[in-house]
Amino acid sequence: MKDLLILHIGAGNHNESLNKKYATLIKKALSKNSLIDAAEVLENSALTNTGFGSSLNMLGKVEIDASFISYTADGSEENKPSVKMGSLTGLKCRNPTEEMARIFSEIDQQYGQLDGLVAPISLNCTSLKNYMDINEDDDDDLISIKSYNTFNAYKKDATSNIKEQEVSDTIGLIQINDTEVAMVTSSGGNYFKLPGRIGCAGVMGAAISFKEEQDYMICCMCSGNGEQIIRDHLATSIIEVFDTSEKSNYGQYLEKVLFETDPKFYIGFVVVFKRYDESTATLVYGHSTESFYFGYKVGGDSRAILSFREKKGCFTFGEYLIQL
């Protein structure tokens, strides 16, 4: 099986004049062989809402949420699969995915020496840094020109319509190979959020989720209105809806269920479905936002997709059958 890397750079309302730059960014990230390296490319870009270029809260500060899921199986019947997950809130660094991996690796080492104690899954970095070293960058080193200008425009006129601003929300990545599925997500959250607000990237099962059965697996990544995504545990909910729907008619079924849940959903998602005995994977995406940008790579072949909403008040859906 060829390695499969899938990523998205947020559902929202992207500036179409920057489409070439968005496509180039997606391709550059997909050119990397590891999930952490691909995430670093996205996080270092001012085009995304995480790491450098994160949205600013009401105090003009950066607060990043992130989470991960890792599923490892060696294919033998003797060893049970290993599932790890975790989330962090209050990160303030250029590369939250790498820092999250480092923090949870250190936590695993510590708790591996403590008999009877269960390692935590969700942590707040503002408090955690009083106990262990956490890499932090100055806000000035994380604020892009776009974020700075948006924040100052709002300060001058607090009655301005925030929704008219360019929106590019939570990012996410999935890497799948013969023995492992790894998922990560991170976000600076929405513009002018209350300090301490936790977005969907910091809540397990909201922005990313994973389900494994005996003969297949399903992954889901979500982006968009964080409160809606958290409230409905959306990534997990979409997996369950997709798992029970007719795969030949997933679009209508998903749209019906999602809009019955909330007719004002402002979200985008990617679902990856793979049967273990098949050499293909199905990628399904949908969004009610103005745009949703994502891409995937199989082996050395990559593709960037810039999807635009076909009709206001409806979901736009698409599907790719990926040969592995």
**Cβ atoms within 10 Å of 129's Cβ, excluding its own:** 14
* Cα(88)–Cα(29) distance, integer angstroms: 23
* Rounded average pLDDT over 75-102: 88
Q: Where in the sequence numbering do the catalytic residues fall? A: 170
Q: What six digits make up the tokens of 192?
A: 């002018």
77 pLDDT band, cuts 50/70/90, is low
- Identify which of 250, 256, 245 has the alpha carbon closest to the alpha carbon of residue 285: 250
| All domains in the chain, ordered by first residue | 4-323 (3.60.20.30)
Q: 87 has which bridge partners?
A: 67, 122
- CA-CA distances (angstroms) from residue 18 to 13, 153, 155? 12, 21, 26
Higher-confidence residue of 31 and 162: namely: 31
229 pLDDT band, cuts 50/70/90, is very high
Contact status, residue 304 vs residue 14, Cβ threshold 8 Å: no
- CA-CA distances (angstroms) from residue 9 to 111, 113, 290? 34, 38, 14
**Token match 């959020």: residue?**
193
Strands 82-91 and 171-176: unpaired
Q: What six digits make up the tokens of 255?
A: 């749209």
Residue type, 185: T
> Chain-wide mean pLDDT for the chain?
91
pLDDT digits (tens, 9 = 90+) for 147-185: 988 888 877 765 555 544 566 789 999 999 988 999 999
pTM more than 0.85: yes
Contact status, residue 204 vs residue 68, Cβ threshold 8 Å: no
- Identify which of 34, 79, 274, 53 has the alpha carbon closest to the alpha carbon of residue 175: 34
20 φ, ψ to 5°? Answer: -65, -40
Q: Which of 60-69, 168-177, 217-226, 245-254 has the lowest mean pLDDT?
A: 245-254
